[in-house]
Amino acid sequence: MRQLADIPHPDAKITLFSWNGKYLIKLEKGPLEQTYKVSELDVTSEADVYALLDAEFIQAAVQRFTLMRQDLQAAFDRQGL
C-alpha cells in the first residue's frame, strides 16, 4: 500500500492511499475510521479522487462518525460493559 497524501481537515484525519488497483480514502477520528475504496477504473486520475472529497462528502462522513460512536456505545451498554 502506498500513501499518496495527507489531506488536512480540522474534523478528521484524511489519508489517500493507492493499493491493488484502487484508491483508498481513509478518514479517522479518535478510535473510529472509515475507508472508501474507489477503483482506478472508475476515475481518470488521482485528481478525480480529490474532487470526490468535496465539502458535502466530508461533512456527511464526519456526521457518520457521531452515529458510529453512538452505535458502539449502545453495544457496550447492551452488554453491560
Divide the 81 residues of the chain into consecutive groups of 10 and give the mean pLDDT of each group: 95 97 97 97 95 96 97 97 95
Domain that holds residue 17: 2-79
Beta strands in the chain (DSSP E): 2-7, 13-19, 22-29, 32-39
Q: Structure pTM?
A: 0.90
* C-alpha cell read off for 34: 472509515
Roughly how many angstroms between the first and final C-alpha of the chain, as a whole number?
36
User: Looking at the 3D structure of the chain, how many domains does it have?
Assistant: 1
Give the model's pLDDT for residue 59.
96
Place of cell 484502487: 22
Predicted pLDDT at 49: 96
Q: What is the pLDDT of residue 77?
A: 98
pLDDT at 76: 97
| 72 φ/ψ angles, rounded to the nearest 5 degrees | -65, -45
pLDDT of amino acid 38: 98
Residues 6+ apart with CB under 8 A from 77: none
- The pLDDT, as a whole number, for residue 25 is 98
